[in-house]
Structure 1
């Protein structure tokens, strides 16, 4: 198990966010919930202070810090997706409740956290042996919001859009 655990700061939604995230991926669970023993900046005695959870096999910690801290795209979490159905499912779930789509497979969820929803096929098209095809796939990707595996394939192979 890794010694490094990302800590996500929330005003008061740590438990709600952790429960949402673990509902999205296999190998995910809430590990522990720590409550405030006394009133603190993170909340009143008895309220949730820290939630430790595992998301897709990676440990995380969610902290209620008592005030909103904005996330930026400088830190994001990438989810590798086996197929378009998984891209679509995670994209829709993470946008639900007020998320914001961005381009090239990036989005911010309802808590402001940045995610990259990436098909595992992407490196094949962006880094394939056909350099002209890879350039076409890159240009196609730059025009996409949610990544479309079939669109990337067609671009790589030099086929026009359907």
Structure 2
């Protein structure tokens, strides 16, 4: 059985938390739903509908709740995913922007539920932190022109 993580990210959805949790757990190899609480006769939603779900993505636990339309996601909070390869960047980008998601700049996107994600190649901090300030500046300028980050283009800018 999974150990309980003391601090978890809590995600408030209108009424589509179950759909979101299913999508998010399908994106990562190490992902699972830990617990689902469903509404009973007393509500607050229709009997049998998801109230909350606890789930885990790559060792990080989250809670999702169907809380109604009172609160919306915004860019002040995002989930950042470090990717080792361009194939991983491309796959996550494609799946998270599908069906109503939207591309942002510099590796940011919003999924169809309005949650912001940063899909970041592991090479980016190394390239931006290069000891040669001119190289780092070229990488920064290249990144600022991109939506989905392209590792080859970032590395070329560094050269």
Normalising to structure 1: TM-score of the pair?
0.92
Deviation at 1:76, TM superposition (A): 0.3
Distance (whole Å) between structure 2 residues aligned to residue 7 and residue 77 of structure 1: 12
Contact 1:33 1:48 in 2 (8 A): yes
Runs of 4+ in 1 over 4 A off after TM superposition: none
- For 2:34, the equivalent position in structure 1 comes to 31
- Match of residue 66, structure 1, among 65, 68, 74: 68
Distance (whole Å) between structure 2 residues aligned to residue 145 and residue 35 of structure 1: 38
What value does the CA root-mean-square deviation take over the aligned residues? 1.2
- For 2:153, the equivalent position in structure 1 comes to 151
- For 1:4, the equivalent position in structure 2 comes to 7
- For 2:123, the equivalent position in structure 1 comes to 121
Deviation at 1:77, TM superposition (A): 0.5
- For 2:21, the equivalent position in structure 1 comes to 18
Distance (whole Å) between structure 1 residues aligned to residue 86 and residue 76 of structure 2: 26
Normalising to structure 2: TM-score of the pair?
0.94
For structure 2, the 5+ residue unaligned runs are: none
Count how many residue pairs are aligned between Structure 1 and Structure 2: 156
Contact 1:10 1:68 in 2 (8 A): no
Q: Match of 1:144, SS?
A: coil
Contact 2:13 2:72 in 1 (8 A): no
For structure 1, the 5+ residue unaligned runs are: 158-162
